[in-house]
Amino acid sequence: MPNIRILTVLASLLALLSGAQASAETLHLGFRSGILMLLDNNLDLGVRRLEPKLIDARVLGAHGSFDPVAFGTLSRQDTTTPLSSRSSVAAGGLRSIESESYYLNAGVTGRTGLGTQYTLEATSAWTADTLSGQEFEYESFTGVSLRQPLLRGYGDSNLIEINLLKKDRQISAEELKRALLDAITLYGEAWWGLMNARGALDVRTESLKLAETLLEASRKRLQAGVISRLELVQAEAAVASRKEDVLISRKAVQSAERSLKSLIAGDPYAMAGTELVPAGDGTLKPSGEGLEASAARALEARPEYLQARAALERNRIQARYAKDLGYPAVDVEARFGYSGLGESFSDSFSGIDSNPQWLVGLAFSYPLGNRTARGSQEAAGVEAMQLKMLLKRIEQDIVFGLDEAIKAIDTDKKRLEAADESVALAEETLAAEERKLQAGRSTTFNVLRIQDDLLQSRLKRLDAVSGYNLTLLRFYREKGTLLEELGINIKDASEVR
């Protein structure tokens, strides 16, 4: 009776699961179709795609430091200046002098990529006071001033922020490519994981059908008095056990579906009720390249290596800037313009070209000890050594990873061939044992045992198929050419969705 109750519960669960499966929408997902969904919908990739755009905005902002700046000033000043007794006598008895002044200044100032600071300006000041009978007198100036560093601050040192951001942009682009490779690798593992889980479900379902067929035959043979009650119980136990295995396999399929959906889903609510069925062939072609050729190609394609190389180039930019800080500041200063004087605003500018002014000078400064520059240079040197070691370490990892992957491809290919042979032999053995059972020269126990052997052979073959394909996938990931092998354009894949 307990066995019958267990069978009833298991049958009910199977019916419920079968009904849920029948009502769910089915999506037959090809390997490359799923990759397109991944590229369109994966949120982690969406975040990564925005990073280069963010750095582009920062580069634009850094260029803004060289934008000319327009300026202007307009002010008024009223003053009352008391006079001493002696000054009062000289001023005809005035006790104080009242003045009214206006100042107007306008121009453009800025800095160039060579470090040149420039200012073009025009100024005008007009003043009236008690002594002039409150009649305004106008003074004006128009000219240009320049300051050009000759040592520290000359040339590319003024572009350090822009140059560093450009390297950050390159590093970010490689980081995006790395994220794409990792995401597609995860997708491949999830796709083949679901393929394996569904294959295992099919195999276990087929094994259950074999056990049910044997159970039905055993009941008839028991009625005919050919076998004992024990053999029937063995067949019943096998059916119950395999039903449980089918339920466990269904759960594994659901878990594998969830992993795949989390990578490719656009609308999680719509995808939640969809049954995913891997379709078609996701097998990549073996490259046939040896270790040296594969490693040479990987050093040109692996984003981790290119990131480290860009970081080393970034360090060299910082080192050049640190070297620049070690120079003394020697700047040439120059100023040239014209001044004018008149009784009106326009009058003060009318003869301005007759009154030139000019100035040329040299400014010098140097911090004693200059520990800031020395510390920056030492830090850049140490960081360069670290980055060179990291670059070498990444190269080692690439070589060892490729060597392992190439050997794994050969091993998994042989494993797949052995699994195919094992399945064929297990099927042949089961057929022979079933004929013996029909002839009365075998037992139910022996047939069930050989059915289990066939089940394990088929499950191992499924593992061998997925294992071989995942090894190929990881080989191309190690090589850095997975996108190319799948026909994915890196520029298109990097575009913001």
Q: pLDDT (tens digit, 9 = 90+) per residue, 366-387?
A: 999 889 999 999 999 999 999 9
- Range with the lowest mean pLDDT among 2-16, 46-60, 163-177, 312-326? 2-16
Whether the Cβ atoms of residue 66 and residue 169 lie closer than 8 Å to each other: no
**Separation CA 379–CA 371 (nearest Å):** 12
Would you tell me how many other CB atoms lie within 10 Å of the CB of residue 185? 17
pLDDT at 91: 67
pLDDT at 90: 67
- Identify which has the larger pLDDT, 353 or 338: 338
CA torsion angle 468 473 475 477 (round to 10): -160
Q: Report in angstroms the alpha-carbon separations of 285 from 103, 205, 409, 478.
A: 80, 31, 11, 15
User: What mean pLDDT do residues 447-473 have?
Assistant: 95
**Separation CA 338–CA 144 (nearest Å):** 10
pLDDT at 3: 42
Cα angle 258-261-265, degrees, rounded to a multiple of 5: 150
pLDDT at 23: 46
Say how far residue 494 (Cα) sits from the centre of its chain.
9
pLDDT at 24: 58
Q: Which amino acid is at 311?
A: A
What percent of the chain lies above the pLDDT cut of 90? Answer: 74
Whole-number average pLDDT of the chain: 90
Phi, psi of 335 (to 5 degrees): -145, 135
Place of tokens 């009941």: 219
Decide if pLDDT at 7 tops 80.
no
Decide if pLDDT at 360 tops 70.
yes
Whether the Cβ atoms of residue 275 and residue 24 lie closer than 8 Å to each other: yes
**Separation CA 300–CA 393 (nearest Å):** 16
Decide if pLDDT at 6 tops 60.
no
Decide if pLDDT at 493 tops 90.
no
Cα angle 119-317-153, degrees, rounded to a multiple of 5: 25
Q: Report in angstroms the alpha-carbon separations of 189 from 15, 35, 75, 185.
A: 31, 12, 73, 6
Q: Which domains does the chain have, with CATH numbers?
A: 2-41+162-313+383-494 (1.20.1600.10), 77-157+329-370 (no CATH)
- Range with the lowest mean pLDDT among 3-12, 194-203, 250-259, 323-332? 3-12
Would you tell me how many other CB atoms lie within 10 Å of the CB of residue 402? 23
Ordered strands of the 356-365 beta sheet: 69-82, 96-111, 117-129, 137-149, 329-342, 356-365
Q: pLDDT (tens digit, 9 = 90+) per residue, 249-268?
A: 999 999 999 999 999 998 88
pLDDT at 19: 43
Q: pLDDT (tens digit, 9 = 90+) per residue, 96-135?
A: 788 889 999 999 999 999 999 999 999 999 998 887 777 8
- Range with the lowest mean pLDDT among 89-93, 127-131, 386-390, 426-430? 89-93
Decide if pLDDT at 430 tops 80.
yes
**Separation CA 118–CA 131 (nearest Å):** 39
